[in-house]
A and B are shown apart, each in its own frame.
Chain A
Amino acid sequence: MAISSTADTRPATKAARPTRRKPLRSRAMGVVQAYGVLLGLLALLVVMFSPFAIIAINAVKTPTDLAANGPLSLPQNPTMDNIVSFWNAVDFGGALRNSLVISLCVAVFATALSLLNAFALGIGHVRGAIWMLVFFMLANILPNEAIVYPLYYMAKFAGLYNTQLAVIIVFTVIQSAFGTYFIASVMRAFPREILDAARVDGCGKIQLLVRVVVPIMGPSLAVLMVFAFIWTWNEFYLPLVFLVDNSQYTVPLAVAATQGEHMMNESQVAASALLGVLPCVLFFLVFQRTLTRGITAGSYR
């Protein structure tokens, strides 16, 4: 179904209908209408972006400026004070580091685990593969609250409470539920001839996995890694439960969970929101191709 890791970027115009000659007047109308639609869409896009713009201009505005001129005016003398004071109050550098470590570990481990599962299901066709896939899909949609309390209890018992390791373990498994499903689906289209050739060559299973399957599945594995990274970065509920010290906070926790705790003024809250948004804008720009390629896959989440 809608899972695909290869981009379909063929231009929409390729399928354009055969053009019929229209009277000049109606063609002119057509152009006016086209630009009207374009302007309307641009206006909508401006509305979509306005929350970010408002946050950005107020993040660099002094509190007195905000009080005097309101949230819509441009900053009179732009300042980094809000950003710096929020950064220091929550150790935002530490939060970035925590988020990076957790998300990277989960991306790598979850992809590896998904690959192993999918190898057995998609290439090995172990007995009951269909039911296993259904199981992984159900595991993927299970609400957090259905597992959170026992996990919290276990983490305390194992001495992993308030550690990044606990979050990494839990998300590795959660993300690999989706990953197994995704990779196994892509493997359905794995070229049969290559498997037959490996068979003739007397290749072992581990060799087959490492030398043949991994290189061929490379692009899909990359898509999965990017998604696992971003999804883990964005998570809130489980990190909120497992990470209680400021020093362990991830970016969303540093931005959202500290509201109210720190007696921050309005300008600092705007600065915190801006700092929370910026890394994601960066990911978006860096991974844009991968994201638009793989989003169809994400529809299973």
Chain B
Amino acid sequence: MKRRSSLDGGYAIFMLPGLIAFAIVIVGPFLATVAISFTKWNGVQAPKWVGLDNYAGLLGDPYFVASFQNTIVLLLAMVVIPTILGLLLAGLLYSYVGRKFGPRTASFFRAGFYLPQVMPVAVAGVVWGWILTPDGALNSILQSVGLGVLAQNWLGNPDIAIFSVMGMMVWFQIGFPLVIFFTALQRMDQTIIEAASLDGASSWQTFIHVTIHQIRPEIFVVVLMTTIATFKVFAQVFVLTRGGPGTATYVPSYYTYLNFFQKDQVGLGSAVATIVTVVVLVVAAVFINFQARRDLAKES
């Protein structure tokens, strides 16, 4: 039955509002940022074309270099540690707690660890800032258990500040991989696990050799999404340290914010923003490429 229906074709009109909105709010501003990055501009007077000067200057800019170095260190707290802890916790909750105490108990723990994820990072930052002050709760706890020697100016000591920020990040991030991995375990083929355990594999061996292999796609998603998130870190640093002491906790988006709105160096800020965007897009390209290849493999 091949009657011509009004449902064949002609849907493009439905995308019109979306495409106009995206052109104005995303594409236009992004292209403008790239263009501004080739100028010297204070946001008021006419911008002056300087070619690649901003980019060249950034190579020797200690703030910029520190921003990227710190971001690399933050990957540990945003990606590596939460992913590993999330894997262990999800495995423990699903395969052990779920079996021994029922799925409701497992869900309860999952929800508990996820809670920080639903709040504004900025608010979480205020919570932690309060705890990390020199006469704050963390130092009080250390003193009360006789570890007063470990008490620190957690956010004021340039050697330690970044690790304090990282502690808060791990606490905040952990729920995300946990929930993703937990869902992955639910969809996993249980017969493989059973086969492994019948073959005499210990639960640890099964976890390392079978489970982790099975949920590899989700691990990949989590690693890439949290890596991208690491390059966007802003509120944590803004609230806890404002990049300080010195450049100890500078991150790219905080540095762009300063250039845009406090130092009136819009061209320089745009250059930093452009570089961060390129890095993030490259990371995303790896992801899309991976996903496309996996979809192809599935179809064939």
Are B194 and A17 within 8 A (Cβ)? Answer: yes
- Beyond A172-B21, A230-B118, is A269–B26 a contact (Cβ under 8 Å)? no
Residues of A128-164 at the interface with B, using a CB-CB cut-off of 8 Å, are 132, 134, 137-139, 141-154
A72 touches B288 (CB 8 A): no
Known contacts being A2-B221, A38-B101, A233-B120, is A142 close to B111, with CB within 8 Å? no
Stretch at the interface among B72-80, B146-154, B252-260: B252-260
- Do A143 and B28 have beta carbons less than 8 Å apart? no
Determine the residue in chain A with the shortest Cβ distance to B125: A256
Specify which of B25, B92, B121, B235 lies most central, judged by the most chain A CB atoms within 10 Å of its CB. B25
Check if B300 is an interface residue, CB within 8 A of chain A: no
Give Cα A38–Cα B96 distance, bound, in whole angstroms: 10
Query: Which residue of B is nearest A258, CB measured?
Result: B126
Is B130 a contact partner of A295 (Cβ separation < 8 A)? no
Size of chain B's interface in residues, with CB distance under 8 A?
Answer: 116
Q: Are A299 and B29 in contact (CB under 8 A)?
A: no
B5, B32, B123, B184: the one contacting A150 at CB < 8 Å is: B32
The segment from B12-20, B57-65, B157-165 that touches chain A is B12-20
Q: How far is the CB of A210 from chain B (nearest CB, A)?
A: 12
B243 to chain A, nearest CB (A): 14
Residues of A within 8 A of B273 (CB): 143, 145-146, 148-149
Q: Does B112 contact A (CB under 8 A)?
A: yes
A41 touches B97 (CB 8 A): yes
Q: Does B101 lie within 8 Å of A280, measured CB to CB?
A: no
Cα separation A276 to B116 with both chains bound (whole Å): 12
A205–B29 alpha-carbon span in the complex (Å): 33
Interface residues of B in 240-299 (CB under 8 A from A): 252-253, 256-257, 260-261, 266, 269-270, 272-274, 276-277, 280-281, 284, 288, 291, 294-295
CB 8 Å contact bits of B177-219 with A (1 = contact, 0 = none): 0011001101100100110011000000000000000000110
Contact partners of A234 in chain B: CB under 8 A: 118-122
Q: Which of the residues B17, B95, B102, B218 comes within 8 Å of A2, measured between beta carbons? A: B218
Residues of A within 8 A of B276 (CB): 143, 145-146
Out of A41, A72, A143, A277, name the residue touching B92 (CB < 8 Å): A41
Residues of B within 8 A of A218 (CB): none
Q: A107 at the A/B interface (Cβ < 8 Å)?
A: no
Measured between alpha carbons, how far is A119 from B295 in the docked complex, in Å?
22
Distance of A296 Cα from B181 Cα, bound (Å): 9
**Interface assignment of A204: CB less than 8 Å from any CB of chain B:** yes
A17 touches B197 (CB 8 A): yes
- Could you give 12 example pairs across A and B, Cβ below 8 Å? A8-B187, A11-B103, A55-B130, A116-B18, A144-B253, A145-B269, A149-B273, A230-B118, A241-B257, A276-B122, A284-B118, A299-B176
